[in-house]
Amino acid sequence: MDVSLLLRVAGVGMLVAVSCQVLSKTGKDEQALLLTLTGMVLVLIMLVGQIGELISAVRSVFGL
């Protein structure tokens, strides 16, 4: 696993957390929820390649 991927995920998480707090304090809870969901989807998209590599490694270990 690459360290830059970990830093990108952490950066997205921090940015989303701060933005959600600001939106919640201003009374825009719906936008905060949508921002949270968007952040989760963005992180999952970034991790798709790593998940594929994990599945192929498990397949090779078990000979599937």
φ/ψ (deg, to 5) at 34: -65, -35
> What's the whole-model pTM score?
0.76
CB 1 within 8 A of CB 50: yes
Give pLDDT tens digits for 37-58.
Answer: 999 999 999 999 888 999 999 9
CA terminus-to-terminus distance, the chain: 23
d(CA 31, CA 27): 9
Structure tokens at 25: 């304090």
CB 36 within 8 A of CB 21: no
Give pLDDT tens digits for 9-28.
Answer: 999 999 999 999 999 999 99
